[in-house]
Amino acid sequence: MNQELQQSDRIQVTIVGGYLGAGKTTLINHLLRNANGKRLAVLVNEFGKLPIDGDLIESIEGEVINVVGGCICCSYGESMISGLMDLTDIKPSFDCVVIEASGVAIPGSIATTVQLLDGFSLNGIITIADCDTLLDFVEDPYLSDTIKTQFAHSDITIVNKTDLANEETHTAVIDWLSQNYPTTQLIETCRTIVPPEIALDLGNDSGQRELFQSNDSHASAFTSTSVQLENAMDIERLAEALASKALGLIRVKGFMKSGDGTIKSLQTVGRRWEIKPVQKQVPCHMVLIGMKSNWNPQSLQSLIAKFVV
Amino acid sequence: MPGLVEAHSHVMQGAFWKRVYCGYFDRMDPEGRVWPGLTTIDNLLVRLSKADREFEDRTKPLAGWGFDPLYWGSERLQRRHLDQVSTSRPIGILHASCHILNVNTKTLKMAGLLRSGLKHPGLPLGEDGLPEGELRGHECMALANRHVGFMREELANDEFGFRQFAKQCVRTGVTTATDLAAVLPDDAVKMMLRVTAEQDFPVRIAAMRKFINLTGPDLIRVARELGDLSTDGLRLGSIKVVADGSIQGFTARLCAPGYFNGAPNGIWYMPREHIEEVSRLALKENVQMHVHTNGDQATQLVLECIQKSLKKHAWSDHRFTMQHCQLASRNQLKKMRELGLCANLFSNQIFFWGDLHCKYTVGPKRARNMNACRSALDIGVPTAIHSDAPITPLSPLFTAWCAVNRLTHSGQVLGKHECITIDEALYAITMGAAYTLKLDSEIGSIEKGKRADFAILEQDPTEVDIKNLKDIEVWGTVQDGRVFPASEQ
Ligand SMILES: [Zn+2]
């Protein structure tokens, strides 16, 4: 691809990392099941099985598994980067790509390389930790530095299988992660059941839709709010505020007018934020996702109002 | 003497000769022509420009290989240099280590990298904020490989390159060689089966299926299926597993104290659970496994995995082989002997990168113990030595010279205590190597009942001065009773 693409046409890439057994496969199947009509491609690492639940498989063509709903799953091929490049030859093009990193890969360095690729943009790094075994790996002389580096650039860290760990371990894991990676957004789950919006950019242009619901007590711990934005905003300062640790938002996606009258998209994932120009006309609104436990839509509304220009 | 055995090479060496040789050292091509080493950027550009003129299709890429600017001092190759050769066709120059690629502006454009605002440790930027044209590391290189003809799959199924490799074997006295990390897609296997069956194909190839793009159980199944296809000329059925990276690329996994220059520890290429699983299945299904380890921590981890697996499935004659295991300690070598492992040591590294290892990677103390042939033999580990061609030149006599003299490029002896005798080195490049391939009952020595494989040399290697071992001329080979003069290749 030789020409610069419009930012909004780029394929959004989410990187899912974590050691073997952390729950990457479960998360990926969950995302495929709840892709909300978006075309999703999953790239699995060079040693993994193609990790798709049987009922999701429509057909298998060589290395490619066609999944219900126009999604596909395939292995890296020659390398992760050439696997991604090959995806651009497939039409119609994909909306999102999820890269399942191998257990010893460093998601942060995959992300750095993805950002070099024309036609793609980074949507976030999600690293999964098995609550019960994480601290064993941290102390393992072979793995310690690898595991630590895996979390270093994580936007969202999912602490999974909290039901299998005893209370003491659970507390120790949360403490260790929050002390060593203060900028990572922590989420706790049992079976990586999280709203897919956390991992994928599922926002459609109207933005009005219910957050994924499930009977799983962990999934129902999430909530979201949608805000209409009529006025022009100081988008950079708003982005900084929404990504602040104190607010603890997991993800924000929105479109709004900037001071110069152009429309921009704003996206936050954990503490990271990104503003991009938007070419087409879209309604101005914003969806914010966070945890029910500290959710206060009124104060979010008034926070946002402070950045009207 | 018996035909020489190269137990760790890659047949893509042959296909590389379709590209322009850009190395620092003189190197002989399969036709017997010696390409002088390049010592300045100007030399390099002259050679590339000549190739550019001779290569008429202006849209095709111009590729070079073997580039080794380590010896050039501070002079660095940038895209503006390569643009002097051509701005209309993509150019890519692969470094000797195969870990760095230099490209021209056209290639950067095709790869979508001629943009400002890029930030990546493997992509140095110029003062104008645009990439200088150096792509470091496999992920970065992958962005450009397809534009300059360095796709692995292409190289694997290159019949011309395969034949060139065989010619080079004849010139260096090799009658059996390896393709140690092949992906072996169906069409490549078919091609290799057909070509190796030809009446005048001069070398036996053992090709190992690399552990990539399939699961452990699938790998073992594929290896067994491949094994059933084995012929006299093409030996299939064993596997190759890669545990860590390279020492000179700072990606090998080292034990404390780590890298001499303070670089962070290297990277694992696969999780230990996979190594454990595949070694267990390989033992169970009697599939021989070759494991690439460079750093001592990787060697230790693999030893632990295999030890565990052996407790579940004993196989008295598995001959799993550690490939490179350059930093293996005496304790690790003892463990290898105890577990029945072989070592294939990378003696050529001492000459090509020994000085660099002293200065940057592991420091002088550990460098003196690298590729410890003496220790391995004394401890009783079955030992071979190798070139890893195309990383270093294919030539077992040169490799033997390295193990006997342990001289670096600057002329220092790196660890005299690890030198071996000429007889031991000659054994390592014949029987030693054949043993690691489980071919010692067929080849590796001149004995009744074995194949008629000979290396025909112009001098007796046991009578030359040890300093001259590498300079012995090769007349040609006899392979399976057929005569192959080097001059007719
Ligand atoms: Zn190799």
The band of A205, judged by pLDDT with boundaries at 50, 70 and 90, is very low
Question: Is this complex's ipTM strictly greater than 0.95?
Answer: no
In this structure, how many other beta carbons lie within 10 angstroms of the beta carbon of residue A295? 17
CA of B240 to the centre of ligand 1 (A): 10
CATH 3.20.20.140 applies to domain B158-484: yes
Residue B278 has pLDDT above 50, yes or no: yes
CA-based nearest residue to A270, from A147, A154, A133, A113: A154
- Encode pLDDT of B164-179 as tens digits: 999 999 999 999 999 9
Catalogue all structural domains in chain A, each as residue range(s) with its CATH number. Answer: 7-197 (3.40.50.300), 206-305 (3.30.1220.10)
The band of A206, judged by pLDDT with boundaries at 50, 70 and 90, is very low
Listed in order, the ranges of chain B carrying CATH 3.20.20.140 are: 158-484
DSSP A45: -
Within 13 Å, how many C-alpha atoms sit on residue A125's CB side?
Answer: 26
pTM here is 0.90
- CB contacts of B146 in chain A (<8 Å) are 82, 85
CATH number of this structure's domain B19-153: 3.10.310.70
The band of A165, judged by pLDDT with boundaries at 50, 70 and 90, is confident
Q: Between chains, do A145 and B265 touch, taking CB under 8 Å as contact?
A: yes
Residue A70 has pLDDT above 90, yes or no: no
Section B140-146 average pLDDT: 91
User: How many whole angstroms separate alpha carbon A52 and alpha carbon A54?
Assistant: 6
Give how far B140 is from chain A: nearest CA, Å. Answer: 7
In this structure, how many other beta carbons lie within 10 angstroms of the beta carbon of residue B18? 14
The band of A3, judged by pLDDT with boundaries at 50, 70 and 90, is very low
Listed in order, the ranges of chain B carrying CATH 3.10.310.70 are: 19-153
Tokens (6 digits) for B62: 């111009």
pLDDT of residue B7: 97
User: How many whole angstroms separate alpha carbon A183 and alpha carbon A270?
Assistant: 8
Looking up tokens 């900028």 gives A183
- CB contacts of A116 in chain B (<8 Å) are 113, 118, 120, 123, 140, 143
- CB contacts of B118 in chain A (<8 Å) are 115-116
CA-based nearest residue to B45, from B102, B7, B4, B98: B102
Residue B383 has pLDDT above 50, yes or no: yes
Residue A7 has pLDDT above 60, yes or no: no
Looking at every residue in chain B, the average pLDDT score rounds to 94
- Encode pLDDT of B438-457 as tens digits: 999 999 999 999 999 999 99
> Rounded to whole angstroms, what are the CA distances from B202 to B147, B181, B266, B479?
33, 21, 40, 6
- Encode pLDDT of B389-419 as tens digits: 999 999 999 999 999 999 999 999 999 999 9
User: How many whole angstroms separate alpha carbon B95 and alpha carbon A68?
Assistant: 44
- CB contacts of B272 in chain A (<8 Å) are 142-143
Identify the helix (H) or strand (E) that includes residue A235.
Answer: helix A235-242
Is A187 strand, coil or helix? Answer: strand
Interface of A with B in 66-105 (CB under 8 A): 75-82, 85, 102-104
Identify the helix (H) or strand (E) that includes residue A152.
Answer: helix A144-152
Mutation target vs A (from B103, B147, B213, B265; most A CBs, 10 A cutoff): B213
